[in-house]
Each structure stands twice: as structure tokens, then as C-alpha cells.
Structure 1
């Protein structure tokens, strides 16, 4: 199976040439601190409810999150986060924070002019999705929090580093290159350029997957399309912790996690699940941080069934 996303054939759709949900690439101007900043998004699939996909990072390019199987049943809108790709850059790099990302997502939601959308947030994109659901509950029809967390901080990062150290020890004999993974994970991205940040992200890709080397023919090409942008790591803002606010989330919520995800695994998923009333939880076994690549059919079935209201109410591990 070729799991690389199809990113080479996006038709350019100018705002004046078609409606906001026309397939292709769109650019809008979002007001920010007295100026306007370009925000790009990409539409694929036009046969079902609108689902806005928010990628991780901050600063990871959106392309890795392309989910063709979801496009068969949903109208997928992939946001190209501000500060990445060909979206605009903020005049002050310190403004890259959760409030800013939420503001730009709201710009997209307003432009789409839908009565309610599904937000699918992966990793850091899940932070943004949680914040958006709290700030704009009337605009969220449902919420998919995919390999995310309600909190970061010292404990969160200590756990991620410890998990990466275990990964490196486990694979060092067969793959000596893992000796540099912890250093790459903890590198101060804000002091790097985009190319170096991208090199570090590509280096540690195997740690984000349950069995990278056993399926390298499938996952190897992913290293070539991953892209990291350093500027968003220079942002400033309060520590991220929405645990006390999550009981106010009103939207139906699906929480997804890979059982072997080293950075946003089941511990953090259950923390979200316990706090959002009525949330559903699915933990995918033999899966790391990228279930939509590792188990695409299972991942797509969980999301599309949830959005369609099928098989409600059961938590499971699969």
C-alpha cells in the first residue's frame, strides 16, 4: 500500500473563481493586529459533512495529514497553518500561540459559512481544536481529537523524552542512528532554520510509527514530504492546560490514540475522555502517532462512523 498523500495535483482556485468549498487550494486574508495575513486551505471530497483538519507541530506542514479515505465520505478542508507553507507569516514571531492559531481557524470557519463543522485536530492541531470548541461552541458540530492532549508542560515533555529514550535503547543494536533521536526531539527549534528543523523531524520519523522498519517500503517515502517550519516555535503564550475547562465542551467528541504513541498516547487521550461529557474513546493497538497512515481503513471507519452518528457510545481498544 502506498500511504504517501497525493499532494501534487491541487488545482489553484482563486476566491473569485469558485465557492469556498470548491475542490482545490484557496487563500483568504485574515485580519490580525491591524493588518491582514494570508491563510491557505485545501478542499478535497465534496460529498459529505465538512471536516476541517488541523495538523501538528506547531510548524509541521499540512501535507502529511492528507486522508484520502475520509475524502470519500466527508468534505475535507486541510488548513495550511499560518507560519507554514505558503500561508502568511506573522509580523511578530512571538504571536505564534494557541490564541492566534484559533483565530485563524475561525477565519476559515467564517469563510466557509457552514452552520456547523467537524474539527479533526491531530497532536498540536488537537490543542487548537479543543480551544476552538471552547471559544466557539456554536460553530462545532463534532470534534475528533486525534493523538492529542489537554495539557503540556514539564510532566508531558518528561514522559515524551523518557519514551524516546526507551525507543532508542530498544532499537540501537539494529539501527545505530537512533542514538541521535533524543537530541533531535529536544532541539530548540526556534533557533534553527526550516531546513535543519525538517532534517530533525525526518530523522526521528520511525519513533512516530509502531513498525517503521517492518513497513519501510510504505513509510519511507513519508520522510520526503514531511516539512517543518521553525518560526512557529518562537511563539509566546501561557502554558497550555485546558483540563479544567473541558467539561464545558458541548460538541460530540471522539478521542483517538495509538497505543504505542510515544508523545500523545493513551494516558493523555484518557485525560481528555474523562473530562468531556459523553466523549467516545478508541485506542488503536499496534499504532503510534500516525494511525491514518498505519491503519488507514480502521482510522477512516472510526471517524466516518462517528461523524455520521453510527455505532454511538462505545469505548474500545482495537
Structure 2
């Protein structure tokens, strides 16, 4: 079972937050004050990350299945879902294949098809050989714009992710193609991109928004891949505007 934390009013609507490859649930700390004022917020560590168990090879469907198991454990039949990067990939799978469980969907700095199996296999191999800390410099350059001063805690977060957990999720991303499922998504969807994101550039968000009926696209200036960290207030405002029950589809 995934390690998870639940905060906010017990009688509020529930939103599940899913983070990026190489992060723990603390990635969402910048949004918690804003979201817990309105929502019961469920955060979790992906398998092989943080305090969740390392389980070997997996697919995006497996990672989404972990979330469904968590929802069942918490007796949550239907939730809103916000995912960034890998978390957004999981969110797209859930909204396409388990639509009854997803009310509203927010996809941040993510992609429906990213890179090649070979490129992800190379990254997985490098991490298995030298550990996640060995790629911290390259990853920080994708996560944050050059002038962002607060990257050190996130480099430490990445370095603490088990190599096998990170590598298995790399291979899951390499095998992923969520594009055929996009037209199946019926949940009202916000797609948010960082204008300066080299990992999942805005054109990836554009393709997702074009594929999901009625999706709304927002591109934030001054943000790279972890836009929720670089532009916390703006991301929180967009999430609240989209996820609150009174929001219009």
C-alpha cells in the first residue's frame, strides 16, 4: 500500500495530489495551506519513492492501480485529482480507464507520450549504477529555471529516492503512450504548463488539451518543470479555481 497522508476538513470534497518522478509527497507543501482550507487533501508517495515500498518493474497502469487501491482503502468512491509530471500521467490513465472515480482533473507539467524507451532505459541504467543523487544536477536543471534559489531541498529529496524505485518508474514512462485514451476523458480538465519547462515543454500540454474534450490550457511564465514550487501562488489559484465544487465545467 502507498504511503499517504490526509489533511484538511473531513467533510470537505477530496482532492488527491500525485507528484513527479523523483519526488515525495512533500513536493506539494507549497499548495497545502491553500488547498486544505477547502479540501480533504490526500497526498501519497508513488511506489518506490519516499516511504512507499519498492516493488520492481511496473507500468503506468500499475501506478494508477495503486491509487485505486488507496481510494478503496480510504473509502473514497469519487475524487478530484491533480498530478504533476508522473502524477499527471497516472491521472490521465485514471480519468480514461476509471472515469467513475475522477470528478475533476488537473494535469500539470506532464505528457501523454514522453521520450523513447531507449532514452528512459539509459536513465534507469545510470541510476541503478550510481544512485539517484548522481543525476541531481541534470534533474535540477529541468525542474527549475536557472535563477531559482530554492532547489537544494529538492535535490536532497531526489537523492533520497531508492534507485530501483526511480528506475522502474523511468521504464514505465518509457513504455507509456496515453494519447489514445485522451478522447475518453470526460472529467473537466485543467492542463497547466511551465513556459520554461525543458522536461515537458508547453507543446506537450497543448497536445493533451487538444486531445481531451473541453480541456482548458494555462501556460505559466517563469516556471520550469516543478511549476508548483516556482510559482506556488499562481498554481494554487488555478487549482482552486478549477477544483472547487462551484467551478463551472
Q: TM-score range by the shorter chain?
A: 0.7 to 0.9
Q: Does 1:131 align with 2:96?
A: no
Question: How far has the Cα of 1:201 moved from its partner?
Answer: 2.5
Question: How far has the Cα of 1:203 moved from its partner?
Answer: 5.2
TM alignment of 1:115-154, pairs within 5 A: 115-154=77-116
Partner secondary structure for residue 180 of structure 2:
coil
Tell whether the 8 Å contact from 1:201 to 1:228 is kept in structure 2 after alignment. Answer: no
Distance 1:50 1:267 in 2: 30
- Relative to structure 1, the CA distance from residue 60 to residue 224 in structure 2 (aligned partners, 3 Å threshold; closer, same or farther) is closer
Q: Does 1:276 align with 2:209?
A: no
Provide the TM-score with structure 1 as the length reference.
0.68
Tell whether the 8 Å contact from 2:144 to 2:226 is kept in structure 1 after alignment. Answer: yes
Question: How far has the Cα of 1:309 moved from its partner?
Answer: 5.3
User: Could you say which residue in structure 2 is the equivalent of 1:45?
Assistant: 8
What do the CA deviations read for 1:129-183 (whole angstroms, capped 9, x no partner)? 111111110010011101011112439x6xxxxxxxxxxxxxxxxxxxxxxxxxx
User: Could you say which residue in structure 2 is the equivalent of 1:76?
Assistant: 41
Distance 2:228 2:154 in 1: 13
Q: Which has the higher helix share?
A: 2
Unaligned runs of 5+ in 2: none
- Relative to structure 1, the CA distance from residue 44 to residue 196 in structure 2 (aligned partners, 3 Å threshold; closer, same or farther) is same
Count residues in correspondence. Answer: 242
Structure 2 counterpart of 1:230, from 141, 147, 163: 163
Q: Does 1:89 align with 2:54?
A: yes
Distance 2:207 2:180 in 1: 11
Tell whether the 8 Å contact from 2:85 to 2:111 is kept in structure 1 after alignment. Answer: yes
User: Aligned-pair RMSD on alpha carbons?
Assistant: 2.7
Which protein, 1 or 2, shows the higher relative CO under an 8 Å CA cutoff with sep ≥ 6?
A: 2
Provide the TM-score with structure 2 as the length reference.
0.85
Higher alpha-carbon Rg: 1
Tell whether the 8 Å contact from 2:192 to 2:219 is kept in structure 1 after alignment. Answer: yes
User: Could you say which residue in structure 1 is the equivalent of 2:227?
Assistant: 291
TM alignment of 1:1-318, pairs within 5 A: 38-46=1-9, 48-57=12-21, 59-66=22-29, 67-68=31-32, 69-90=34-55, 93-94=56-57, 96-154=58-116, 188-190=123-125, 192-193=127-128, 196-202=131-137, 204-210=139-145, 212-213=146-147, 215-216=148-149, 218-226=150-158, 227-232=160-165, 233-234=167-168, 239-308=175-244, 312=248
Question: How far has the Cα of 1:272 moved from its partner?
Answer: 0.5
Distance 2:129 2:24 in 1: 11
Question: How far has the Cα of 1:82 moved from its partner?
Answer: 1.5
